[in-house]
Amino acid sequence: MTPQKKHRLAFLMYSSLSLSLGVVILLFVLKDNLMYFYVPSDLAPLTSFYGQKIRLGGMVKEGSIKQDFSTLKTCFIICDGHSEIKVDYTGVLPDLFREGQGVVAEGRLGSANVFFAHQVLAKHDENYMPPEVAKSLNKSHRKLAVQSLASSPLSKGFQDVGERRTSTSE
């Protein structure tokens, strides 16, 4: 083997060893910060999730919300159609939180299949558009915006504003 090939081989071995070591260190450091997403069906039969930080997603069961406004404690049930898990949360809930709405709760699963959430995120419709964005659309895109907002609560007001603007500008 020529000296040039030996140097090239040594460089490749050193590079691959360094890269492997870097990946192992990165995974070790991030292990505590990784948070996986599960639905109640995934958690129900397993006990290995107790005490781990996870995200739990599903729908808020109808009639399951119980709130204590003096302590801001809220108990509700997240279900996915197959199983359900009780969630305890203390804090201010998002405005879009309600029964039948999709939610993602971040926290830890307790030993009695009670999920202790430290953050609750409410999902919203993918067609939602803030009023400021809708107003900033130019005239050529207004028709598309009105169609995409047709199912949102803001659609009535936006159509009225759009109709007034187009009628006064013509």
Cβ atoms of 49 and 90 closer than 8 Å: no
Six token digits for residue 5: 């090939």
Shared domain for 42 and 69, answered yes or no, is yes
- CA dist 106 and 119 (Å) reads 5
Shared domain for 43 and 113, answered yes or no, is yes
pLDDT, mean over the chain? 77
Shared domain for 65 and 107, answered yes or no, is yes
Query: Per residue in 3-30, pLDDT tens?
Result: 898 899 999 999 999 999 999 998 888 8
Shared domain for 116 and 96, answered yes or no, is yes
Q: Give the chain's domain count.
A: 3
Query: Per residue in 131-170, pLDDT tens?
Result: 655 554 443 354 444 555 555 555 444 444 444 444 444 4
Range of the domain at 157: 131-169
Query: Per residue in 32-54, pLDDT tens?
Result: 777 778 888 887 666 677 778 88
Task: State the pTM of this model.
Answer: 0.58
Give residue 160's pLDDT.
Answer: 44
- Element spanning 169, H or E: helix 155-169
Shared domain for 113 and 55, answered yes or no, is yes
- CA dist 92 and 41 (Å) reads 27
Shared domain for 59 and 118, answered yes or no, is yes
- CA dist 65 and 77 (Å) reads 7
Shared domain for 88 and 156, answered yes or no, is no
* DSSP, residue by residue, 14-77: HHHHHHHHHHHHHHHHHTTT--EEE-HHHHTT--TTBT-EEEEEEEEPTT--EEETTTTEEEEE
- CA dist 49 and 109 (Å) reads 6
- CA dist 58 and 72 (Å) reads 22
Shared domain for 3 and 63, answered yes or no, is no
- Element spanning 147, H or E: helix 139-148
- CA dist 11 and 4 (Å) reads 11
Shared domain for 68 and 106, answered yes or no, is yes
